[in-house]
Structure 1
Amino acid sequence: MFPRLSYAQRLLALIFFVSFITVFFNFSSVKFSAASRRLSYMEQYLQNTLRGGNTVQDAQEYVDNITEMNGQQKGWDQSTRTPPINPHEFKYLINPSSLCYRKNLTYLVYVHTAPGNFKKRQTIRQTWGAKTLMLKYKIRIVFIMGVVEDSVTVQRVHSESNRYGDIVMEDFQDSYRNLTYKAIAGLKWISSYCLDVTYVIKSDDDILIDMHALMETMNSKEVKKYGTRRLIMCNQWLKMKVIRDKKSKWYVPKEEFDKEYFPPYCSGSLFIMSLDVVFAMYDMSLNTKFFWVDDFYITGLLAEKLKLEHKRLNDNYMLNARAAVEKFDKDEKRELKFFHVHKLTDIFRMWKRLRSEKNRSCDNCFTWLPHR
């Protein structure tokens, strides 16, 4: 038997219990209210976008408001908290903010591209990113880029955006040493405008994806058992030596990174994340010092801070562009899914063969049409 509590003890216990319940519900109410305001603001903004009533400035104001709401929801003191180490304060020059809105999507593919890579983007739209294929698998593609000084190129990109509505351009200088800005731009845009997808796929614009095989993998028991939280799948690099040769494109001085080997990270050619990882990585990037090696920064440094474990898909990659076509032709079992390919003519030829094989093996395949 428990000892009998005195009246005073029972009164104190009751006060403590009531106080706890009050604080809990007040906290929940505040949190729910912040989330509701966030979703309400997004709903209003996107509806106005569909009516053609928003400008680029409106888009930036929306992101700023969402960022501020996120900070309040996390309990940050906006007046006293330490400024971010790596603030991503670039402005949108092109922003397809309604691209994911009410599309019932499962996947969002964001592709790193340079403004002048018009043919590469069009090749994707006509092969593994064809509109009919995207609809079939509930996918949308968005191309992420910075800006260049060539005004003719920028104007052509604006025209391309007006036609396809799938380009995000921020005002950072698009260069090799700024690829990490491009990577963070993708994370930020998805965190702001594509909140309902399950998986996010990052790709470069010189990668051929066997989309049919990838979808089969994503629906396999092996991937299903991973769940849809804290997931990152990729070609994992182990014991990658830091290059100290000053003549190399990838030269890293000791002042920037003093270790001789990088910790495990993913090839930046293509990797797959659950949506919560995108949110967490963007948040973590704000307080992680900038480092120009983008694939290591995103999938190594940020992933390590978030204690994420890479799921290896190494056997699915052929990243040697010189050998990709030959390996593709010899891969009768179609175990390879991701190919680094230099020539656009090779991508079209390889895709035509994949399409033909898929049609022969499927009685219910849809009609294939180029993206218009």
Structure 2
Amino acid sequence: MLVSFRRLRRCQCVQLMTTCLVLSLVMVYWEQLDNNVVSHVKSVSFRYLVNRFSLVNKSLTIPREQALIFSNFPYLLNHPKICKNQDVLLLLFVKTSPENIQRRKAIRSTWGNQTYIQESLGVTVKVLFVLGATVASDSDSLDPQEQLKFEDKLYSDLIQQGFSDSFHNLTLKLLMQFHWMHHYCAHARFFMTADDDIFVHMPNLVQYIQDVHSKGITDLWVGRVHRGSPPVRSQTSKYYVPYSMYQWLSYPDYTAGAAYVVSSDVADKIYHASLTLNASLYIDDVFMGICANAVGVSPQEHVFFSGEAKAPYHSCIYSQMMTSHGHVEDIYDLWKTATRPQVKVEAPGLIGKLYCSLVKVALLCRPYYVNTYPCKAAFS
């Protein structure tokens, strides 16, 4: 009897210690748990059960005169006639920062080479770099703005407005793009925005949008789609959004801002929506989703638009690649390798397709999450 009592007390002590340990861990990680798990549960519930994004539109609607403060910045560099009298298939804006000179140079020499696109692909694609203003520091030997003017004199492809170029002004940079297209290149059939560390497989992209255009498809907004994403409430995150800026549990559906494509009719709708919406929310891809939701446009998933990671390096991937994220130093090698004519014919026939399917399954369907192409891309 005494032995049983001692065992009972020992078991109770173990249970008590285990409970204390679990509670301690929960208390330590509660904030992270709340931000990452609970917020996602709330967001998905709001997105799929409540789904009252009309309240979001209403809460962010402001008078036109008030909305002008987000877009009424003077142009420091501009080329208003660059699209004039030209049959533009795609107007492609690259979001860049003043100091990223080498990134712009690399893009001009690879996938953004407009001469190559015109001569090899037979279409007109206008590639323009959009940026805000920079401030000279005491350590600068040359005025950064003068450097930009010199660069623009060489290439005539910089579009710059007078707001400060910073992460918290990305939405202003987005508005700048849609306003510029509306005023100076509204006849372009498609619009695309991309980061300056994105690789675009231009031959594949041109073929895709030509097919879309030939089918007369409208209301096109395609990219890597985020559905039911919650606002980040952790103040340590660069994506932190306070309740005062956005009070709702979930964002409307949107595509990753790294790269996406819209048809010209959608670009026009987004422009008009932006004229009456509060653009103080500095997460630009989310603001795009808010504008699109206001005019009834939904994003469409394309499995070969990358998220935040690089696509695997393999010819079976290159044959369908649209975009890949995170390329700076390797952009020259990737361009040379991914656009070789042999890529399309290296694995012909049924055996070749089976081989590429197996390769894509091995590369994309890993047991842990990789934010590049989804597993279903292996079967497309």
Distance 1:101 1:223 in 2: 21
Choose the corresponding residue for 2:90, options 83, 107, 114.
Answer: 107
- Give the conservation status (yes or no) of the 8 Å contact 2:315–2:343: no
Structure 2: distance between partners of 1:316 and 1:185: 27
Rounded to whole Å, the distance in 2 between the matches of 1:182 and 1:170 is: 8
User: Aligned partners of 2:270, 2:209: CA distance in 1, in Å?
Assistant: 22
Could you say if the C-alpha distance between residues 91 and 294 of structure 1 is closer, same or farther in structure 2, counting changes exceeding 3 Å? same
Q: CA deviation at 1:265?
A: 0.7
Equivalents in 2 of 1:196, 1:317: separation in Å?
Answer: 25
Q: For the structure 1 residues 242 and 359, does the alpha-carbon distance in structure 2 shift closer, same or farther, using more than 3 Å as the test?
A: closer
Change (3 A) 1:247 1:93: same
- Residue 356 of structure 1 corresponds to 340
For residues 58-137 of structure 1, what are the structure 2 equivalents within 5 Å?
A: 83-87=64-68, 88-135=71-118, 136-137=122-123
1:345 aligns with 2:329: yes
1:200 is displaced (CA, Å) by 0.9
1:272: how far off? 0.9
- Are 1:158 and 2:149 an aligned pair? yes
Q: Any unmatched runs of 5+ in structure 1?
A: 1-81, 363-372
Query: Relative to 1, partners in 2 of residues 1:361 and 1:250: Cα closer, same or farther, differing over 3 Å?
Result: same
2-structure distance, mates of 1:118, 1:181:
21
- 1:202–1:271: 8 Å Cα contact kept in structure 2? yes
Letter in 2 for 1:172: F
Q: TM-score, normalised by structure 2?
A: 0.68
Match of 1:275 in 2: 264
CA distance in 1, matches of 2:64, 2:304: 41
Mapped partners of 1:101, 1:225: distance in 2: 26
- The answer on whether the counterparts of 1:341 and 1:347 sit within 8 Å (CA) in structure 2 is no
2:66 is paired with a residue whose SS is coil
Q: Partner amino acid for 1:295? A: D
1:213-272 CA-partner distances (Å, limit 9, x unpaired) = 11222233x675462x32211211012122111111111111211223222111111111
Q: What is the aligned partner in structure 1 of residue 305 from structure 2?
A: 317
How far apart, in 1, do the equivalents of 2:342 and 2:132 lie?
36
Match of 1:192 in 2: 183
Backbone CA RMSD of aligned residues:
2.2
Amino acid at match of 2:306: M
CA offsets, 1:180-235, max 9 Å, x none? 00000111111111122111111111100111111222233x675462x3221121
Alignment correspondent of 1:33:
none
How big is each residue's C-alpha offset from its partner over 1:247-299, in whole Å with a ceiling of 9 and x where there is no partner? 1111111121122322211111111111222222122112101121111101x
**1:268 and 1:311 mapped to 2: Cα distance?**
14
Could you tell me which residue of structure 2 aligns to residue 256 of structure 1? Answer: 245
2:318 and 2:338 in contact (8 A); partners too: no
Is 1:303 aligned to residue 286 of structure 2? no
From the superposition, tell whether residues 301 and 101 of structure 1 become closer, same or farther in structure 2 (CA, over 3 Å): same
Q: 1:276 to 1:333 in 2, by over 3 A?
A: closer
Over the matched positions of the two proteins, sequence identity in percent amounts to: 24
SS of aligned partner of 2:126: strand
Is the aligned partner of 1:149 residue 2:140? Answer: no
Distance apart, 1:96 and its partner CA: 0.8
User: 1 CA distance for matches of 2:229 and 2:161?
Assistant: 31
Please tell me the residue identity of whatever aligns with 1:85: Q
SS of residue matched to 2:168: helix
Task: Report deviation, 1:149.
Answer: 0.6
Distance 1:360 1:281, change over 3 A: closer
Please show how residues 281-296 of structure 1 align to structure 2 within 5 Å: 281-290=270-279, 291-296=281-286
1:29-48 pair list within 5 angstroms: none
> Paired residues, what number?
274
TM-score by length of 1: 0.69
Task: Please give the alpha-carbon distance, in whole angstroms, between the structure 1 residues aligned to 2:300 and 2:215.
Answer: 12
Change (3 A) 1:124 1:236: same
The verdict on how the C-alpha distance between 1:245 and 1:357 changes in structure 2, with shifts beyond 3 A counting, is same
- Taking a change above 3 Å as real, the CA distance of residues 115 and 100 of structure 1, as seen in their structure-2 partners, is same
Is 1:234 aligned to 2:218, yes or no? Answer: no
Higher mean C-alpha displacement, 239-248 vs 182-191: 239-248
Mapped partners of 1:96, 1:173: distance in 2: 20
How far off its partner does 1:337 sit?
1.8
SS in 2 for 1:328: coil
CA contact (8 A) 2:64 2:275 kept: no
Q: Which amino acid aligns with 1:148?
A: T
Supply the distance in 1 between the matched residues of 2:203 and 2:277 (Cα, whole angstroms). Answer: 37
Aligned equivalents of 1:359, 1:244: Cα separation in 2: 45
Q: Which amino acid aligns with 2:307?
A: L
d(CA) in 1 for partners of 2:223, 2:134: 30
Partner SS for 2:265 = helix
Contact preservation (8 Å) 2:201, 2:339:
no
